Structure formats: C-alpha cells, structure tokens
Structure 1
Amino acid sequence: MARHDRWVMLTTLAVLQALTIVTGVYAMTTDFSLGALTSGSSPTKPTASPAEGSSPVPVVTSGPVLAQLSAKSGDGPLPTKGTLTRQLTSALGDKALGSRVGAVVIDTVTGEQLFAANPDLGITPASTTKIVTCAAALSSLGPDARLSTRAVQGAKPGTVVLVGGGDPFLAGPSAKVTYPKQASLATLAARTAATLKAQGVRKVTLSYDSSLFTGATKAPGWKTNYIPDGEVAPTYALTMDEGRQNPPARSPRVANPPQFAAAAFARLLARQGIGVSKSIRPAKAAAGAAELGKVDSAPLFSLVEHTLTASDNDLAEALLRHVAIKEGQPATYEGGAKAVIAVLQRLGVGQNIALSDGSGLSIRNRISPNALAKILAMSGSAGHPDLHAIASGMPIAGFSGTLGNGRRFTGADSKDQVGLVRAKTGTLNNINTLAGMATTKDGRLVTFAFLADRVPANAEPVLDRLAATVARS
C-alpha cells in the first residue's frame, strides 16, 4: 500500500473515532443512547435498588466502536522477515534499552509471529498493563456497561445513604466538562432532592457507603510517593474527581475520598433546599433500599478509550475491581488480578501475566511481549468487536495522549511515522515500554510490543525507532 493510501486508512480510522466521540457526546448530553432512550427527569417516587448480589454495573445498548476496524482491512503482503529481523535486532542492541528487553511483532491476519526476542519473558510493563486490564473489562462487562452512583433511603425515616458504584470519574461541583462526559454529583443531588421534596422531606441525616470495593486501598508494589505526587488516589468505590482536591490539578489527592465526596454531596443537597445534619458517617445501605436518585457513567468503551489515551491510573484500578465483581472474585487488588487473568485465559491470551494492580504503577507486575501483542491483535480483529475500544483508545504518534506530548516520535529515525503508529506507552523509573499497532508500507496490519525494565536512563527514543521500523517495513 502506498504512503498516500496509508494516510487514507489512518484518516478513515480517525473519522470513525471522531464520529464515535461526537455521537457519544450527543448521546450523553441529551440522555440518549443508540439503542435505548433513558429518562433525564428526576424521579418523584422511590424505586427499588438492585437486590444484594445483583450486578452493580447496569448495561444499556449502544453501537459498536470502530466496527469497520479489522485485520481484513490491512491484508497486504507480509513484510520481508529477513529485513525486519535485521533492522529490529540492530535497534534492540542499543545500550539505552539496558540488559533486559523483550520484543514481539505479530501479523493480525494470520497470528503469525513475524519477529520475537524473549517473547514469553515476563517483564515489568508499567502502564502497558492498562491494555490487559481494559481488555478484560470489555470482555467481561461488555462495552456498553455503565457505572452507577446512587442515593438510597437509609434505615430510618429522614436518612439518606450515598452509595458509591466504583466510578472514580464521578464529577464534583467544580469539575470541568470533559469527554467522556462524567456522571455528575450535582445532578445526583438534584434528583435526590426532587424525590425527597415529593415525599415532604426537607431535612436528612446523610451517610455514605463505599463497600463495593474491599481490601487495601494501595496496591502492592506502589511507591510511597505515588499518592502525594498525584499519580493516583487511594482506591475506593466512592470517589469524585478521581480523589483530586482541586480538579483539574493532578495533586493533591485527598486521604479519604468517600468522606470528601459525601461532604460535597451534602453541600449540593443544601443548595437544592434539603438540610443535612453536620455528622456524616459511613454506613452500609440495606439490600433493596429504595432509590432516591441515580447517575450513570459514560459507556465502558468510552471509559476504556480515555483510560488508554490519558493513561488514567484511577479508572484502571476501578476497572480491575469491576472485573473481579463480575467474575465472582473479591473486589480487591488480589481478586481483580485473578479475575483479569481468568478472563484473558478464556480469550486464549492469559499466559505469562502476573498482576498486582490494574494501572501498571506496581513494580511487581509482569507481562510478556507476546501476551500484549496478541491482545492488541484481537482488538483489531473482526472476531472480537467488543475489544475494538482498545484499538481506538491507543494514543496516535505525535498527535494524542502520551504520544502527543512533543517528546515522542521526534527523532530522525521515527518522525516520518508520526500519525501512522498507535501505541500505549509505559514509563516508570528504569522501565520503558511501548505496545501498539501499525500498518506496514504494503498495508499489512501488525501489532507489536517492546518492553525493557532495566533501562539505564531513558529508552523512549529507541522504542519509537522500533515502532517506526515496524510501520515502514
């Protein structure tokens, strides 16, 4: 395929993604989804909450993401193996990569391994971990799942419980409009207040329930500076603005996200004319408690795209817990890790993966290049439409996300592939990784994974060179 045709293919994918985004924004701002209409009005009568043990993640119908993206759209001739091997082997010898490197290139049409160096070696993946977490979430929960935050009737008259549904993207009163559109705590307060007023209730005692997630709030292998530096918040089922005290600033993160969110909810209720007692304490909502109000997140496929493009650690950790719940595991880091690997094993790509978290901040994670490349190949295939948000969420070299920061694909040996590589980055101290997809010069769709976890300083330029080599092969 000529360079012009490759740009046409890229443009087509970009347009498809843009249409998905525009449609999603329209759907969410008008309470309209592609498959179903949902009421945007506040409830006036309490409705029963889901019974205990039922799924906390309601599902609505919406259209597939990038439905036309498939391996068949890139089925030109295979690149010459000898040339590709020689060029990649040369680049892998760069001392900047350090002493432990793994690399794989896979043809998405046949699944054939076009190049491999330590393909099954478990290497610390950093943020490329998010690929496996998001793939498991899409496969287990489905791309249309939404995360719900609710207010329900408490055990006594005049009491309200704010129930966290594991949506860290829940917007507080000072949040700015984003894509995907966030569920709004202010909207939840307005809906709850309308229900309470219809019941003749003007003053309540508020408590909060963050029991959907259990276990530790910090993962094994996290460094002590991650939370203070704003890399991530403690993981709770009730969190607003991803635990940021002053969004959109990355830090500081609050020490107790559930209490912080509940206090904000109390202030929002007061603005709606509902008095709230000063004492706000944790309390578990009763099973089947009457629902006073509810807000839903954007569909999971949108959350996945954001997680990958922005490398969102908080959403990744929440998705890990939701996979655990769906798969019948405890909603802990350990349960999430078991659940994610079990889902990937069902897909046939769960080998040589060991997890301690969902975001990749943990230095205890290990993933092989082969596993990453295979998951990415699935995300671009017609046989796995539920995984297409992985492909559409990949940052584009030189344009978006962690590849659009002005530092990547700027070298003489990689800048000619700006716009032609989609990949997820991974960066920790002495760790650099890159995993993604590209079409070759003849139009063959291939996926790749390059991982190095004993990097002396910075290996990002070499990883860019490796990806560019694949794209121009």
Structure 2
Amino acid sequence: MKRLLIVSLFILAGQVYAQDLQQKISGAFSRLQADSQCSYASLSLTVLDAKTGEQVFAANPNMGLATASTLKTITSITAFNILGADFKYQTQLGYAGEITADGTLNGDVIIKGAGDPTLGSWRYEQTKEAHVLALMTNALQKAGIKKINGRIIGDDSIFGSQSIPEGWIWQDIGNYYGAGTSGLCWRENQFDIKLRTGVVGNPIGISRTVPLMPNLTFKSELVNGATGSGDHAYAFLPVGSTVMYLRGSYAIDQDKKSISAAIPDAAYDAAYRLADTLRKLGITVSNGAESAATLNAKSLQVPLIAKNITTIQSPPLSRIIYWLNQKSINLYAEQLLKTIAWKQGRKPTTANGVEEVQKFWKARGIDPNTINTYDGSGLSPGDRVTTATLAKILQSAKKESWFADLYESLPVYNNMKMKSGSINNVLCYAGYQAHNGRELCFSIMVNNFSGTSRGIKEKMFRVLDVLK
C-alpha cells in the first residue's frame, strides 16, 4: 500500500506538472494572439514530447501556413532518412576523343555533375574553388593532356533545364538566395557585385564583379539610400537573358558596398573557370567553355565521357545539412529535394521531389495534404504546412542514429536550438528544447503579422521562453 501510494503521488505530480506547463504555454500563446501585431494574422503552435510524441500543447495545429525556412527541417530529415548521413555526391571529370602522342586531346573535356551543391564552395576545405580546380588540372596533366583541340563542357543535364521551382517570386530570382538548381553547381551558384556609391538619391554604379563574369552585362537602376535605410538592392535576370538589372536602393553607410547575385548558368561558369586555369598553366583550349544550356541553344548535344580520369566527392550529407540549416542555404535544400527524387528512381525534378517527400511521410502516418509545398527550402510564399506535421517530423528524428547531426545543424536563437524562417510578413521557428529534464519539440508559425519583424520576434520568444 505504501509503494502504491508513492507511485500514485508521482503520477499525480507528473499530471500537475504537465497541466501547469500546458497552462503557461496557453497563457503565453493567448497573449501573442491578442497582440495588435497579430490582429489580422494566422497563428499556430504545436509542442510535443520529443521522446514519446505525446501532445503537450496545440493551438490551430492543423492550419496550413507558410513555413518560410523552417521547411528546411522537413527536407533535412527526409534526406537523412532516404539518402543516409554518409551519402556523398560524385562529380566526374573525363574526356571524349583521343589523345595523340604529343599530348593533344582531339575532343572535349567534360565535367559531369551529379547535383553536388558544394562544388567550389568556400565552406569546406575540400570543396574550395582553388582546390577543386587543382584536382581537375592535375588529373588532366596525369592523363598526358598538354593541349585541348576541343571544348571544356560543364554537363549539368542530370537535373534537367528547369532550375527555378514553380512558386518562387520574381523579386527573389536573380539574387544569391534565389539561385536556381543545377546538375553542376559552382561556388554555390553565386557571385558578388561591387557597388560604387555616392550622393543620396543619385544612381549607384558598378565597379566590378568577383569573380569576373564576362558572359554577363549589367545595368544599374540602383539609387543611393539615406543613412540607416539599409540594403534594399535586388538583382533581376530575365530567363534566357545575359543582361542583369540591379534595382532598389542601397544606403550610403553600408560597409560592404557589395551584393551577391545568382549565376544563371553555373555549369558554364565551372567550365569557364577550368578553361581559364588551364590557359594560365599553358594548356590551350581551342573552342572555349560550354554547358548543356549553351549547347542546346545551338541544337548540339553534350557528348558522353569516353574515359573518366577522376571523381570528386562531396562532403557527407551530415556536413551538407549542417551548413544548410546553419546558414539557411536555399540552394542546398533544393538540390537535396531533387536528389531525393533521383534516389527514389524518379526523374530529378522539384515536383517529383515534393511528391517523394509527401509519399515518404504518408507511409509513416502523416497526411500528405499537410505538406502542400512547391519547393524544399520554404522560399515560396505558397508553401503550406501544419505545425502538427512539422512537430511530428521533428519528433520522429529523435530516435534516429543521425539525430545528433541534425541537432548540431540547428542554429541557436533565444538560447534555443531551432530553425528560423522569415519571408514577407511571415515568421516561424521549429526545433527542440528541454523543460525541467523533459525533452520537447515544437513548431510555431505566424503568418500575415503587422509591424516589424523584430517586434513579432520578441513576442514569439516570450511564448517559447515558457518551454525553457
């Protein structure tokens, strides 16, 4: 009887504790909902026990809302499940044609991409531009090639020709964060434009690009903004065009004097950089650089590799996902989404990737209608996911062998491990938190708030503080 009494007291204490936490969350959420910034907003919050999946608190859990970049957690967890934490992309370098006795290649050098988003990236030692170019040039020299009577071709055909997901908006396309997918990425498909600022209200000039982009021309319609007005500069590149427009304003007190834009044809740029490096080493390339896109425009096909001379491996998926979430890299998420489709035996398109994500979670009891998305990064304002589904997917990862890698990838905001997401009048957070030793996972979304992002963020943090 004594033991039974003790057990009963423990159960009763646990119930009181759970009810107390639920009441505190409810009160904090109600205050957020009643705030003037949320007068016309849609709000949702789901909190689950990360070990058991038990619902701790839910408000509007089945309301489909724009996720912004918190969608990257779903893409990350699905990729871990389907591809595996040790998955690596493999980029091939080879040639078509014959090498003569004097070292002349009568044919083409081909860089065949497999979707690696890290090739040429500065984030890892093994992927840096100079290192990758050195690997390629060394392999060509070891093959005995001293002259190329042909072309350097960047073959990005594995991912098809549609690089921009449906649902992305015009203002984002052309900027570094709106870089399109490619079967052969290079330098994260971005470059920098250095600005020449001046008097407020006057036009801003362009001093140079880093690196040089000889295949693009630029027209600046940017104006100098007043001190403290910030960076509101956007790059616009019409599909199929080589003329990039810069529009908006850029404050005269901005230190960087630079914006980052998207490379429209990353495969061409990779081929161009290799051709330029070979030229500096005294290895001439008679017919310059090409990509699948430039060849298709001439009604020409990309030749097949007759002999592969080296394979360049990416970092493992666990490290790719680390930077994907730490820096919220849209390109990484979109490349992974297409890779998921490829791994499942489908044509690697964004739409097929979305379908495979839905199918994967449907098989695990989640209604695919609660994952109504256009992409894998959350950049599309048309994405709709429920907090209940996002929290369940976070909870499912807790038992997996790769969970530590996922957890490490999440940034720290408000002293909590969580992914943030923000687009126009949307702010969301999703992640993990321990409360008095109890492990929790959560998803909170606010759509169509009024006022400043800073203001709504502070108020959302007050809700999340209850979970600490």
How high is the TM-score relative to the length of structure 2?
A: 0.73
> Which of residues 113, 119, 124 is equivalent to 1:170?
119
Does residue 1:128 correspond to 2:122, yes or no? no
Counterpart of 1:468 in structure 2 is: 465
For residues 381-415 of structure 1, the C-alpha deviation after alignment (integer angstroms, 9 at most, x for no partner) is 2x212344322211112xxxxxxxxxxxxxxxxxx
CA distance in structure 1 between the aligned counterparts of 2:139 and 2:119, rounded to whole angstroms: 21
CA separation of 1:184/1:203 partners in 2, compared to 1, >3 Å: closer, same or farther? farther
Counterpart of 2:310 in structure 1 is: 293
Deviates more, 1:214-223 or 1:123-132: 214-223
Structure 1: gaps of 5 or more residues: 1-76, 398-417
Cα distance, 1:78 vs structure 2: 4.3
Secondary structure in structure 1 of the residue aligned to 2:422: strand
Deviates more, 1:126-135 or 1:269-278: 269-278
For residues 197-235 of structure 1, the C-alpha deviation after alignment (integer angstroms, 9 at most, x for no partner) is 344321122212101112421122211121334322122
Secondary structure in structure 2 of the residue aligned to 1:264: helix
CA separation of 1:147/1:277 partners in 2, compared to 1, >3 Å: closer, same or farther? same
Counterpart of 1:201 in structure 2 is: 145
Counterpart of 1:38 in structure 2 is: none
Letter in 2 for 1:353: I
Does residue 1:95 correspond to 2:112, yes or no? no
Counterpart of 1:4 in structure 2 is: none
CA distance in structure 2 between the aligned counterparts of 1:354 and 1:109, rounded to whole angstroms: 27
Counterpart of 2:446 in structure 1 is: 452
Secondary structure in structure 2 of the residue aligned to 1:237: coil
Counterpart of 1:358 in structure 2 is: 376
For residues 362-387 of structure 1, the C-alpha deviation after alignment (integer angstroms, 9 at most, x for no partner) is 112111101111122223x2x21234
CA distance in structure 2 between the aligned counterparts of 1:229 and 1:203, rounded to whole angstroms: 37
Does residue 1:231 correspond to 2:177, yes or no? yes
Cα distance, 1:128 vs structure 2: 0.7
Counterpart of 1:434 in structure 2 is: 429
Measured on the aligned residues, the alpha-carbon RMSD in Å equals 2.4
Secondary structure in structure 2 of the residue aligned to 1:212: helix
Secondary structure in structure 1 of the residue aligned to 2:262: coil
Q: Is the 1:190–1:269 Cα contact (8 Å) retained in structure 2?
A: no
Counterpart of 2:411 in structure 1 is: 395
Does residue 1:214 correspond to 2:160, yes or no? yes
Counterpart of 1:60 in structure 2 is: none
Q: Is the 1:78–1:444 Cα contact (8 Å) retained in structure 2?
A: no
> Which of residues 55, 80, 85 is equivalent to 1:143?
85
Q: Percent identity?
A: 27
CA distance in structure 2 between the aligned counterparts of 1:362 and 1:140, rounded to whole angstroms: 24
Letter in 2 for 1:90: R
For residues 235-268 of structure 1, the C-alpha deviation after alignment (integer angstroms, 9 at most, x for no partner) is 2111211122236965122222211121011122
For residues 300-339 of structure 1, the C-alpha deviation after alignment (integer angstroms, 9 at most, x for no partner) is 1111111111111111111111111001222111111112
CA separation of 1:82/1:193 partners in 2, compared to 1, >3 Å: closer, same or farther? closer
Secondary structure in structure 1 of the residue aligned to 2:158: coil
CA distance in structure 2 between the aligned counterparts of 1:367 and 1:182, rounded to whole angstroms: 36
Does residue 1:116 correspond to 2:58, yes or no? yes
Secondary structure in structure 2 of the residue aligned to 1:251: strand
**Structure showing the higher strand proportion among its residues:** 2
Q: Is the 1:228–1:251 Cα contact (8 Å) retained in structure 2?
A: no
Q: Is the 1:138–1:300 Cα contact (8 Å) retained in structure 2?
A: yes
Computing the radius of gyration over CA atoms, which structure comes out larger, 1 or 2? Answer: 2
Letter in 2 for 1:170: L
CA separation of 1:274/1:102 partners in 2, compared to 1, >3 Å: closer, same or farther? same
Secondary structure in structure 2 of the residue aligned to 1:470: coil
Structure 2: gaps of 5 or more residues: 1-16, 100-104, 193-209, 212-257, 293-300
Letter in 2 for 1:368: T
Cα distance, 1:101 vs structure 2: 1.2
CA distance in structure 1 between the aligned counterparts of 2:144 and 2:51, rounded to whole angstroms: 63
Does residue 1:84 correspond to 2:25, yes or no? yes
